[in-house]
Amino acid sequence: MTRAVDIAILGAGAIGQLICRQLTAAGEHVGFIARDRQEPLSLQDSQAQQYSQSQKLSFTPLIASDDSHSPQPIDYRVPIIAANALDHIRLVIVCVKAYQVIDALLPLFHQLPRQCHILLLHNGMGPHLALAPLIEKMESRGLSLGTTSQGVLRQARWQIKQTGKGLTQLGHFTGIELAEHYRSAILAAIPNSEWVDTIVPCLWQKLAVNAAINPLTALHQCPNGALAKTDFSAIIEGILDELVTVAAQDGVPIDKPLLHDRIYQVIQLTAANFSSMHQDVAHQRQTEIDQINGYICERAQAHGLTTPINAKLCQQIKQLTVAT
């Protein structure tokens, strides 16, 4: 009898498809949860099979698997799991945009088995604070968080290309810890991944990278590398000063000089890239500003602080997305 799919991915964007490929290649039983009409809905089967449809995906790795120089796309199929057929799922990896997490996850909350673990893997911060009390109330479920800087480009609906290696950090946040079996499966499947003792400081570090790079590249319509110019140093400094103060109030002390260096390192390493917010603005899509600079402002307010530089960036990005 074939083993049932026990890991479900919610969100089949670039990162969702990359994680799916990595877990599938490692022999894990993974499927996507059907969410909209673009992802075909399957019918529930009362037998052992929990899905009746699958989707063909294409993945082009960074490095060729043989000796040839250009990596060839690999085609593979992944089950699509209907939202009413989640009985076997033990781990849901949530890869939707930060502003979609609650709306995408809550309708499934009581359809997922009680012991199903949830792992959030998105840019920005915020949804974990709304989810934590719901998870804690259930007493049988756990929440882990993660951040990844793997580079991936979505070339078509179900076609991705890996564009860069990157670090993936994961860790427990609240409730029941993720079972050891799934922890090791994820770490074995995702290259350069680690399970850290405290994940929240890692998320703040990634938040800082996004808070500095994303809105500035979107406002100035430039690639990440343009931010290395001295014209931007004062505003980057200002964004970080505010973030470091707020994070400290939130119980996360951050070494500012180290963070500063890290941001300039990312600017160098991704010099030719257009940030995700730049692309969202260019394509008139909703941005993640509320979960990036907006999160800094939100946490500041909670501590009776103000963050005028980050607040202004939020306002400018919103004006841009309304005006365009």
Ordered strands of the 142-148 beta sheet: 151-156, 159-164, 53-60, 74-81, 30-33, 7-10, 91-94, 117-121, 142-148, 168-175, 193-195
- Number of residues binding to ligand KPL, judged by CB under 6 A: 12
Please list, in sequence order, all residues whose beta carbon lies within 8 angstroms of the beta carbon of residue 90, skipping any fewer than 6 positions away: 6, 7, 113, 115, 116, 117, 179, 182
Which residues pair with residue 164 across a beta bridge?
151
Strands (E), 117-274: 117-121, 142-148, 151-156, 159-164, 168-175, 193-195
Query: Which lies closer to ligand KPL via its Cβ, residue 44 or residue 149?
Result: 149
DSSP 101: H
**What whole-number distance in Å separates Cα of residue 166 and Cα of residue 209?**
14
Which residues pair with residue 175 across a beta bridge?
142
- What is the greatest pairwise CA distance in the chain? 64
**What whole-number distance in Å separates Cα of residue 262 and Cα of residue 157?**
33
Q: Which of 56, 137, 161, 206 is catalytic?
A: 206
DSSP 304: T
When asked if residue 205 is in the footprint of ligand KPL (CB under 6 A), the reply is: no
The yes-or-no answer on residue 229 being catalytic is no
Query: Which lies closer to ligand KPL via its Cβ, residue 27 or residue 164?
Result: 164
Among 5, 80, 121, 213, binds ligand KPL (CB under 6 A): 213
Query: Which lies closer to ligand KPL via its Cβ, residue 205 or residue 270?
Result: 270
Among 17, 60, 224, 287, binds ligand KPL (CB under 6 A): 224
Among 214, 287, 293, 307, binds ligand KPL (CB under 6 A): 214
When asked if residue 296 is in the footprint of ligand KPL (CB under 6 A), the reply is: no
Alpha helix ranges (H) inside 48-123? 101-105
When asked if residue 210 is in the footprint of ligand KPL (CB under 6 A), the reply is: yes
Query: Which lies closer to ligand KPL via its Cβ, residue 123 or residue 307?
Result: 123
* Minimum distance of ligand KPL from residue 318's CB (angstroms): 18
* Cα 146 → chain centroid: 7
Per-residue contact track with ligand KPL, 140 to 179, x per CB under 6 A? ---------x------------------------------
Per-residue contact track with ligand KPL, 251 to 270, x per CB under 6 A? ---------------x---x
Query: Which lies closer to ligand KPL via its Cβ, residue 242 or residue 280?
Result: 280
Instruction: Please state, as a whole number, how many other Cβ atoms lie within 10 Å of the Cβ of residue 284.
Output: 9
- 167 is written with which tokens? 């670090």
Among 17, 193, 275, 293, binds ligand KPL (CB under 6 A): 275
**Which residues are near ligand KPL by CB under 6 A?**
123, 149, 209-210, 213-214, 224, 266, 270, 273, 275-276
What residues act catalytically?
Answer: 206
